[in-house]
Structure 1
């Protein structure tokens, strides 16, 4: 049986973008990895909106893990909304998970504040928002806390083109529904009890991460990446990859 130090890594992106970045993956050495397009993203942008939700993404991860790694258990790395997908996968398929790295994954409805905003937009408002981001990716980066965005412009363009506004709305609505459920904290506690969970946050954004006391106490580790915010993997992908590799080692 593989252990966490040599098990494959599956990266699960947040609301916008992709973690399919060679600068991140290069830091893993020879360890196998996947950063699959979720439903509504990348090559799956044509997925019907009704199928784009947290449980649908859990099944998408199950399908790609089984296809690529057979019965091998994996390490999950979930960013923000991707953290919700990772928690849900670990709850439904605990035998398939060696460890979980929550990169500012949503613990509460308070964490999902931006998803709440997107979820309440009209279709036209969501499309106008995304079009505005795409028209000025450096301004989007600055609003996201990256104050010297020039070096990340091309990556930002890739992220912003990776999904339509309809995907953002569908996932945002699902995240709000899931994190607002009365049993969500019970689900999270069961995940922490069944698999090692590492918490990873940016120095500039950790103060806004609504991590419950029980999760801080129950986590296997807490790592703060210096001089970055919520989009740490976009700002410094190689350093982010090294941190993930170190946690899994």
Structure 2
């Protein structure tokens, strides 16, 4: 059977924690794409990129975050959004992507935002799929405060059951695999850091201040988010996915993929135009 992408294990130590990161990736000649999955999901959320010819010849990377999927982490208590940022940078280094489109969902969207804020010169465009940019986005992660349990397994069991009965598209499907995709010991550090950053890190300003094309994707069940009109007025492209809650990759994947490729193609054209303008201005400056 022809393999359409590579499956690799990247082993390294980060701040005293041993990691073995399971990743899928491929090479190509066009602009690379880096995908960061959300809490309770895995790299396979994005494997179907190979099914869409519009992405042909685009290198891509998707991997399981520590504590998730097939990845291994020797100390689950170390996992937080800042920790995940550093993991992402190390894995991107391993596949040698210099500049890339960035796509992040939920937890991955917040991680991507922090990376894009710190290293804007490396990012061509940012697709934020309901990643945290305001306190109201913590409808999953804030449960670590709303439903306090000392035992990680007990909290996770109740979290799964609440999620199973959430009246939103794909909630039961998502809940059914949580035990298999996330280690319970990783949940508290992830959730607490997501809440802290959402409440105190001025994520909105960081997001709006990014100097490259930005798209915010959300399910139509979440069109009540209070900041949508504001970020649109600030130049962010909005993409509402029909028949969808928080998980477009499960509820309406074709619409999600088509929106991503259209946005990224426009971003590349914009980037090319800006580069040509800079070259022209440089030439004019040389003449004078």
Match of 1:67 among 88, 94, 115: 94
> Closer, same or farther in 2 for the Cα pair 1:215/1:43, shift >3 Å?
same
Kindly state the Cα deviation for residue 184 of structure 1 after the two structures are TM-superposed.
3.5
Q: Confirm whether residue 102 of structure 1 aligns to residue 102 of structure 2.
A: no
Correspondences of 1:61-210 after superposition (within 5 Å): 61-70=88-97, 72-119=98-145, 121-124=148-151, 126-131=152-157, 140-141=163-164, 143=166, 145-146=168-169, 153=173, 157-181=176-200, 183-191=202-210, 194-207=211-224, 209-210=225-226
Kindly state the Cα deviation for residue 90 of structure 1 after the two structures are TM-superposed.
0.3
Kindly state the Cα deviation for residue 157 of structure 1 after the two structures are TM-superposed.
4.4
Gaps of 5+ in 1: none
> In 2, distance between residues paired with 1:97 and 1:246?
17
Give the TM-score taking structure 1 as reference length: 0.80
Q: Confirm whether residue 37 of structure 1 aligns to residue 56 of structure 2.
A: no
Gaps of 5+ in 2: 1-28, 266-288
- Say whether the 8 Å CA contact 1:17–1:160 is kept in structure 2: no
> Closer, same or farther in 2 for the Cα pair 1:108/1:172, shift >3 Å?
same
Q: Which has the larger radius of gyration?
A: 2
> In 1, distance between residues paired with 2:123 and 2:74?
26
Kindly state the Cα deviation for residue 242 of structure 1 after the two structures are TM-superposed.
2.5
> Closer, same or farther in 2 for the Cα pair 1:225/1:212, shift >3 Å?
closer
> In 1, distance between residues paired with 2:183 and 2:176?
13
Answer 1 or 2: which has greater strand percent: 2
Which residue does 1:222 correspond to in 2?
A: 238
SS in 1 for 2:209: helix
Q: Confirm whether residue 7 of structure 1 aligns to residue 31 of structure 2.
A: yes
SS in 1 for 2:41: coil
> Closer, same or farther in 2 for the Cα pair 1:245/1:47, shift >3 Å?
farther
Kindly state the Cα deviation for residue 62 of structure 1 after the two structures are TM-superposed.
0.9
Match of 2:44 among 16, 20, 23: 20
> In 2, distance between residues paired with 1:24 and 1:127?
34
Kindly state the Cα deviation for residue 215 of structure 1 after the two structures are TM-superposed.
2.2
- Say whether the 8 Å CA contact 2:242–2:252 is kept in structure 1: no
Kindly state the Cα deviation for residue 123 of structure 1 after the two structures are TM-superposed.
4.0
Query: Once structures 1 and 2 are overlaid, which stretch shifts more, 238-247 or 96-105?
Result: 238-247
> In 2, distance between residues paired with 1:14 and 1:51?
18
What is the number of equivalent residue pairs in this alignment? 233
